[in-house]
Amino acid sequence: MRRLTISFDNGPTPGETEKVLDALASRDVLASFFVVGEELAKPDARACLERAKAEGHWICNHTLSHGAPLGADEDDARVAREIGAAQALLGDLSHPDRFFRPNGDGSFGKHLLSASAVRYLEAGGYTVVTWNNVPGDWIEPKAAWGDRALVTAETQDWSLVVIHDFLVGPMIDTLTGFIDVARDRGFEIVQDFPPSCVPMLRGQSASHIVDVARL
């Protein structure tokens, strides 16, 4: 059976993340939330993540500021700030595997992680998670992101979809609709990540990532 995993980037977004959690609960789906550390400064943001974790979702690190990709320089201090400070903010909300997703405008390449970043991730025992299905929930027509995700998913044995709670929340019916159609087409929706999207597992780099991000 083909599999599909749903992940959310760039949150939490109070007022929208709760809608996403309601929709996932209504369809008995577990997902992962890749959090930007600075977003935790918003009122009620941490409460959103506490609820998400309590409901079985995985809370993950998506850098502190979502600024320039970490492959842009070899600044050890910046690496420690973007990865480590975000992880510290997550604290006990974080999944034990310390999942980390680099930001890179949705494309692969050496701009994702510098050698300094790789060393930091290895030393910290992080698990790096990438993606293979980015349907562009910011692209018009935004509500068609589900159709675009399914077109890509039909070509893959296991899709890891990246969407955004702050974009999907205002059009929440697209999320439940996507889940329903995916299941009708025979996809199994799982929480685990496809191995091809995990270039580093608990600090150990996999050989297949060499051409992606200097690991």
**Per-residue tokens: 7:** 């992940």
Residue 191 near residue 7, CB atoms below 8 Å:
no
Residue 25 near residue 55, CB atoms below 8 Å:
yes
**3-class secondary-structure state, position 62:** coil
Low-confidence ranges of the chain (pLDDT < 50): 210-215
Residue 180 near residue 25, CB atoms below 8 Å:
no
Distance CA 63, CA 85 (A): 8
Q: CB neighbours (10 Å) of residue 140?
A: 7
68 Cβ contact list (under 8 Å, min separation 6): none
Helix (H) or strand (E) holding 128: strand 127-128
**Per-residue tokens: 47:** 């409460």
Residue 139 sits at the vertex; the CA angle it makes with 135 and 145, to the nearest 5 degrees, is 35
164 torsion bin: left (phi>0), alpha (psi -120 to 50), beta (else): beta
pLDDT digits (tens, 9 = 90+) for 145-163: 999 999 999 999 999 999 9
Q: How many domains does the chain have?
A: 1
Residue 74, domain CATH: 3.20.20.370
Report the interhelical angle of 173-184 vs 145-153 (nearest 10°): 30
pLDDT of residue 74: 77
Residue 160 near residue 5, CB atoms below 8 Å:
yes
pLDDT of residue 53: 98
- Host domain of residue 94: 3-213
pLDDT of residue 46: 97
pLDDT of residue 131: 94
Distances from the Cα of 38 to the Cαs of 64, 83, 151, 215, in angstroms? 6, 12, 33, 27
pLDDT of residue 213: 45
Contacts 24+ apart (CB under 8 A), 190-195: 190/3, 190/4, 190/5, 191/5, 191/30, 191/31, 191/32, 191/56, 191/57, 191/58, 192/5, 193/5, 193/32, 193/129, 193/160, 194/3, 194/5, 194/132, 194/157, 194/158, 194/159, 194/160
Task: Flag whether the pTM goes above 0.75.
Answer: yes
Closest CA to 101 of 210, 10, 195: 10
